[in-house]
């Protein structure tokens, strides 16, 4: 009986450690993927800016602390709105107060948001009339919007697109239901706004935290024409609920890799108990660690929500 209880205790401790490792992978390990993607997006976006003949002032003077970078709100000779494929870089986003410096991809699918903040394709582009909306993770995949709740009215948001550099000033922060698609609609009281959306509260996808900012324009200036139909809200109804809500992909690879990981772990345990040496421990730890990382990678993608 004592041996049985001891065996059950070891199994439970092992499972607890594996769960803690998975939580650590979600909070920090996923950031490795995003960091690599951000490096690629930076190179891609800067090349696109050169082709479009647009400068990015945010690169020359990156944000530090709570200072504000001076960004021209509009461009004199504005190139036409480009067509950016989903998953490609479409903007450079900087929020000095929270130290955010990130490249925004086009699209808000799970694959897009793993790379960084994503632009809702059903909304206007930054700098244009209407509402430009961007979603971002709050705790996983680098947590680009992790400190969004620290922003207050009057704080600035700076963003460069292939049409120019723009500055926004925050005027509202609210919490809404996951399907409150109205936040993707234009504000009838303001010509051009930027909306940032993320999960709320932290470590949950139960609600959405919404930060809204208005385009700063010099006297007599106007925002750029919108590249979307501002009179058609129907396509926006589903967009907000889909973004950041997770996507249960194929479970078969996850199950197979999980079984393989368990098999490798079992063989490692048997080998170490027959030959309890540090060399045996290392020999087993390497393939088990690789298999476990692959299992976590797949498991994270079939969960019902990514925060």
286, pLDDT greater than 80? yes
- pLDDT for position 77: 56
More confident residue, 202 or 245: 202
- pLDDT for position 15: 81
Measure the CA angle with vertex 147, ends 146 and 148; round to 5°.
Answer: 100
Instruction: Work out the percent of the chain whose per-residue pLDDT is above 90.
Output: 43
* Cβ burial 166-189 (10 Å sphere, 16+ → b, else e): bbbebbebeebebebbebbbbbee
Q: Where are the domains of the chain?
A: 33-242, 248-302
Helices (H), the chain: 2-24, 30-52, 57-60, 110-113, 236-242, 252-274, 278-302
Neighbours of 74 (CB within 10 A): 19
Residues in the chain: 307
- Residues contacting 56, CB < 8 A, separation 6+: 45, 46, 49, 92, 160, 165
Task: Name the pLDDT band for 97 (thresholds 50, 70, 90).
Answer: very high
What would the mean pLDDT of 16-33 be, rounded to a whole number? 81
More confident residue, 253 or 129: 129
Task: Name the pLDDT band for 240 (thresholds 50, 70, 90).
Answer: low
- pLDDT for position 233: 60
273, pLDDT greater than 90? no
- pLDDT for position 307: 66
Task: Name the pLDDT band for 66 (thresholds 50, 70, 90).
Answer: very low
- pLDDT for position 243: 59
- pLDDT for position 65: 45
| φ and ψ of 190, to 5 deg | -140, 140
CATH code for the domain defined by 33-242: 2.40.260.10
More confident residue, 300 or 104: 104
Task: Name the pLDDT band for 194 (thresholds 50, 70, 90).
Answer: very high
Helix (H, G, I), strand (E, B) or coil at 279: helix
Helix (H, G, I), strand (E, B) or coil at 208: strand
136, pLDDT greater than 80? yes
Helix (H, G, I), strand (E, B) or coil at 199: strand
108, pLDDT greater than 80? yes
Measure the CA angle with vertex 240, ends 238 and 244; round to 5°.
Answer: 120
């Amino acid at each position: 009986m004592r041996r049985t209880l001891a065996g059950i205790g070891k199994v439970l401790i092992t499972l607890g450690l594996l769960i803690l490792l998975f939580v650590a992978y979600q909070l920090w390990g996923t950031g490795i993927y995003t960091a690599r993607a951000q490096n690629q997006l930076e190179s891609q976006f800067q090349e696109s800016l050169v082709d479009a003949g647009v400068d990015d002032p945010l690169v020359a003077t990156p944000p530090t602390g709570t200072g504000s970078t001076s960004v021209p709100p509009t461009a004199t000779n504005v190139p036409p709105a480009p067509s950016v494929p989903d998953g490609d870089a479409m903007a450079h986003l900087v929020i000095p107060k929270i130290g955010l410096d990130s490249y925004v991809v086009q699209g808000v699918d799970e694959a897009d948001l793993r790379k960084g903040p994503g632009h809702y394709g059903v909304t206007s582009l930054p700098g244009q009339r209407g509402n430009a909306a961007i979603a971002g993770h709050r705790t996983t995949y680098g947590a680009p919007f992790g400190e969004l709740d620290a922003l207050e009215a009057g704080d600035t948001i700076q963003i460069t697109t292939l049409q120019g550099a723009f500055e926004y000033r925050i005027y509202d922060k609210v919490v809404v239901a996951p399907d409150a698609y109205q936040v993707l609609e234009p504000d009838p009281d303001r010509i051009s706004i930027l909306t940032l959306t993320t999960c709320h509260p932290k470590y949950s996808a139960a609600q959405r935290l919404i930060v809204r900012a208005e385009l700063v324009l010099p006297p007599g200036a106007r925002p750029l024409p919108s590249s979307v139909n501002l009179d058609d809200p129907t396509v926006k109804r589903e967009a907000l609920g889909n973004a950041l809500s997770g996507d249960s992909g194929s479970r078969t690879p996850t199950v197979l890799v999980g079984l393989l990981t368990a098999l490798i772990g079992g063989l490692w345990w048997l080998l170490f108990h027959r030959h309890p040496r540090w060399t045996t421990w290392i020999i087993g730890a390497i393939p088990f660690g690789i298999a476990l990382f692959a299992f976590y990678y797949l498991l994270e993608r079939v969960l019902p929500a990514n925060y």
